[in-house]
Amino acid sequence: MKTIYLAIVLAPLLAAVLAGLFGKAIGRTVAHTVTIAGVAVSFVLSLIVFKHIALDGGEIFNGSVYTWMVSDGIHFEVGFLIDKLTALMMVVVTFVSLMVHIYTVGYMRDDPGYQRFFSYISLFTFSMLMLVMANNFLQLFFGWEAVGLMSYLLIGFWYKRESAIYANLKAFLVNRVGDFGFLLGIAAILMYTNSLDYYEVFAKAPDLTNETMSVIPGKEWAVMSVICILLFIGAMGKSAQMPLHVWLPDSMEGPTPISALIHAATMVTAGIFMVARMSPLFELSETALTVVMVIGALTAFFMGLVGIVQNDIKRVVAYSTLSQLGYMTAALGASAYAASIFHLMTHAFFKALLFLAAGSVIIALHHEQDMRRMGGLRKYMPITYWTSLVGSLALIGFPFTSGFFSKDSIIEAIHLSHIPGSTLAYWLVLLGVFVTAFYTFRMFFLVFHTDERFRQHAHDDHGHGGDPKESPWVVTLPLVALAIPSVIAGYTIDPVVVGDYFKDAIHVAHGHEAIAHMTQHYHGIWAFVAHAFKAAPVYLALLGVLAAYIIYMQRPQVADWFVDKFGWLHRILDNKYGFDSFNETVFAGGGRALGSMLWRGGDAFFIDDVLINGTAKSVGWIAGKVRHIQTGYLYHYAFAMIIGLLLLLAQLVRKMLFG
């Protein structure tokens, strides 16, 4: 099996190297063929692995590929851990990636950086696979940073755009803030367990339950809480949780396929995956779980609200991603890891679908992204329309779609959780359902229904007037291929969530059995659906759709009235709560000011002027003399030294030759 695992990661890597280094030589067609083939190989092999591990009950694989280094007796390895969690992630990652690869053939058709783009997305797939397949923290960190790098390169793919190269720098730096915490977490793990291997660390972690450390002198904190919160800071960066979420909306500057691949389906799920993978650690710290849950729930609700006031179609989907990641994170805090990963999977399908559908609309309208200049596209783009509807329904958790099962599980699990903060989290995620439905269908109506507003803004001067056309098959095929799991993936709730699918991969401590509780009351899929109709979320979702319908289809003046009456609220949302301006002023501006101060005040003034030149001045006239004759002095000095060296050398030669 090890050969297969190697092939899974190496296939996209080799394809990426080929397309990246020899792109010009091999041409466009070969470039996309090899990269698609590489990812297809990964996908098929991942399916085989999935069958082996998940369906046939194959052995968990935990083995090293090579020893990266040994230092201080600690083995730093590159190796794989393949269990059911990994197998599921591999299938999701390679499937979405394959769809995005195919889609890219159509979307990037006219782009001069065609080969480079394929190289990047394949390299990204490699990075993400390394991340999910890791069996140790070193490789996890490698994949962690590598997906960050690919995100940097892809957001800034159109490097001539000032906004794109601003966004990619911001994304990388904000992610680095998360990585900063993550790396400290890894260092803490090494300190207390002397290992970076997952299983060894998990085995030793329970002994640390009662250990404390003092980060701030005089205050003793539980070691496990410190470790888990540090690791979670990393997750906040990658999975864009408040306040490290600021990079994700801006990342929409990248081409749409990568918005789907990286900023919806894969990279941003790295944090969720990591916490689930580390469940044996997080389960040891209720404090950490509370932090995770509250931050997740806050993100879920407040980022959803911002989605309501966005006009750029991709930004609506981006804020929706933030909000959905919040749901997953909150579920992790409730120890409902299975529900969280389940939502990760369903979300990967329907969110990739929504992004690709948005991309389809964007190309049909010649790179128009403003929803105020869309509308009525339903009759021109039937496939995009119907698949978008599927994606939207799944996103709001409409009954029978995949999102319904996964989101309901999350809300139910948070409801059942008893850790501090769970009541607040429950209300936030519950209200979030209404918000989600509202912004989703606001978008849906504004794009596909309502008046055709694109005509007055059509770029006639470019000579492509006329009606928008449905996208070519390379674009619509992935839409359909993603729409199918967006519906049916939910029916795997048994065994993924309420079954024992994750038995060996995820650990839940006593007292945190929200999922176990759900399992007890689970009596088949239809009972689950019937039960849902007796609970609030379904009605909140329908209410959200209804509200969007009334405001955007029937009474457009309501929206204006709202903006008029609640201007302050609209401004807060429009400014995204001021995170960006705060960061720009305090961190970016403050950092530069501090740098200037240290440079001018510390280096130039204090060290150079006061210390160095001051010393020179105190030597008085000697300094003056030296200043006059310095050039000559230096050469003389140099000359004298060479002579001296030669004399010493001659002495040595004499000794050696003549004794």
Partner 1 sequence: MFADWPLLSLVIWVPIVGGMMVLAAGDSGAAAARRIALGVAVVTFMLSIPLFTGFDRSTYLMQFVEQTPWISAFNINYHLGVDGFSMPLILLTTITTVLVIIAGWQVIQKRVSQYMAAFLILEGLMIGVFCSLDAILFYIFFEGMLIPMFLIIGVWGGERRVYATFKFFLYTFLGSVLMLIALIYMYSKSGSFNILELHDLKLSLGEQKLIFLAFLTGFAVKVPMWPVHTWLPDAHVEAPTGGSVILAAIMLKIGGYGFLRFSLPITPDASQAFDWLIIFMSLTAVVYIGFVAMVQKDMKKLIAYSSIAHMGFATLGMFLVFRIIANTDSMQGAALGIEGGVVQMISHGFISGALFLCVGVLYDRMHTRQIADYGGVVNTMPVFAALFVFFAMANSGLPGTSGFVGEFMVILASFKANFWFAFLAALTLILGAAYSLWMVKRVVFGDVGNDRVAALQDLNQREFLILGILAILVLLLGLWPAPLLDVMHASTEHLLQQISHSKL
Where along the sequence are the contacts to partner 1 (CB under 8 A)? Answer: 66-74, 141-142, 145-146, 149, 152, 156, 159-160, 162, 165-166, 169, 172-173, 176-177, 179-180, 183-184, 186-188, 190-191, 194, 213, 215, 591-592, 594-596, 598-599, 602-603, 607-608, 611-612, 616, 630-631, 634-635, 637-638, 641-642, 645, 648, 651-652, 655-656
> The tokens of 433 are what?
């359902």
Smallest separation, CB 639 to partner 1 (Å): 9
Largest CA distance in the chain: 109
Nearest CB to partner 1, comparing residues 120 and 385: 120
> The tokens of 516 are what?
């176990």
Nearest CB to partner 1, comparing residues 423 and 630: 630
Decide: 475 and 107 in contact? Cβ < 8 Å: yes
Q: Which of 142, 32, 26, 46 is nearest to 86 (CA)?
A: 46
Smallest separation, CB 231 to partner 1 (Å): 14
Nearest CB to partner 1, comparing residues 190 and 542: 190
Nearest CB to partner 1, comparing residues 150 and 497: 150
Smallest separation, CB 151 to partner 1 (Å): 13
Smallest separation, CB 184 to partner 1 (Å): 6
- Residue 570, by phi and psi: left (phi above 0), alpha (psi -120 to 50) or beta? alpha
Which residues, other chains included, contact 253 with Cβ-Cβ below 8 Å and sequence gap of 6+?
155, 156, 158, 161, 163, 164, 167, 168
Nearest CB to partner 1, comparing residues 37 and 65: 65
Dihedrals phi, psi of 293, to nearest 5 degrees: -65, -45
Question: 3-class SS at 75?
Answer: strand
Question: 3-class SS at 95?
Answer: helix
Taking residue 229's Cβ as centre, other Cβ atoms within 10 Å add up to 20
Nearest CB to partner 1, comparing residues 233 and 505: 233
Smallest separation, CB 299 to partner 1 (Å): 22
Question: 3-class SS at 425?
Answer: helix
Smallest separation, CB 592 to partner 1 (Å): 6
Smallest separation, CB 9 to partner 1 (Å): 13
Which residues, other chains included, contact 256 with Cβ-Cβ below 8 Å and sequence gap of 6+?
107, 314, 355, 356, 358, 359, 362
Nearest CB to partner 1, comparing residues 524 and 624: 624
Q: Which of 372, 306, 358, 323 is nearest to 560 (CA)?
A: 372
Nearest CB to partner 1, comparing residues 158 and 577: 158
Question: 3-class SS at 217?
Answer: coil
Smallest separation, CB 162 to partner 1 (Å): 6
> The tokens of 265 are what?
């389906």
Smallest separation, CB 322 to partner 1 (Å): 22
**What is the H or E stretch that residue 71 is in?**
strand 61-71
Does the N-terminal peptide bond of residue 556 adopt cis geometry, omega within 30 degrees of 0? no
Smallest separation, CB 33 to partner 1 (Å): 23
Smallest separation, CB 86 to partner 1 (Å): 20
CA 367 to CA 359: how far, in whole Å?
A: 9
Smallest separation, CB 216 to partner 1 (Å): 9
Name beta bridge partners: 71: 74
Nearest CB to partner 1, comparing residues 119 and 486: 119
Nearest CB to partner 1, comparing residues 152 and 337: 152
Nearest CB to partner 1, comparing residues 146 and 497: 146
Angle 332-257-130 from CA coordinates, rounded to 5°: 50
Q: How do strand 221-222 and strand 61-71 relate by DSSP bridges?
A: unpaired
Question: 3-class SS at 315?
Answer: helix
CA 498 to CA 409: how far, in whole Å?
A: 9
Nearest CB to partner 1, comparing residues 561 and 599: 599
Q: Identify the DSSP state of 212.
A: E
Question: 3-class SS at 522?
Answer: coil
Q: Which of 236, 43, 267, 31 is nearest to 155 (CA)?
A: 267
Smallest separation, CB 24 to partner 1 (Å): 10
Question: 3-class SS at 359?
Answer: helix
Nearest CB to partner 1, comparing residues 138 and 410: 138
